[in-house]
Amino acid sequence: MTADAMRDASVVVARDAQGLVAILSANFPDHGGEYLFLPGGRFEAGETPLDCAQRELREEAGVTAERWRHLGSYAITLGSQARVHLFEARDLTLGPQDLTETEQDFKLMWWPMSDARQAAHDGRFLLPAGPLALLLAGDEAGS
Residue pair 54/63 in contact by the 8 Å Cβ criterion? no
State the burial class of residue 87 (Cβ atoms within 10 Å of its Cβ: 0-12, 13-18, 19+): buried
Sheet holding 83-94, edge to edge: 40-42, 9-14, 83-94, 63-75
61-71, pLDDT tens digit by residue? 999 999 999 99
Looking at residue 21, its pLDDT comes to 98
Share above pLDDT 70 across residues of the chain, in percent, rounded to a whole number: 93
Give the model's confidence band at 143: pLDDT under 50 very low, under 70 low, under 90 confident, else very high: very low
pLDDT digits (tens, 9 = 90+) for 43-56: 999 999 999 999 99
Q: Choose among 10, 124, 4: nearest CA to 58.
A: 10
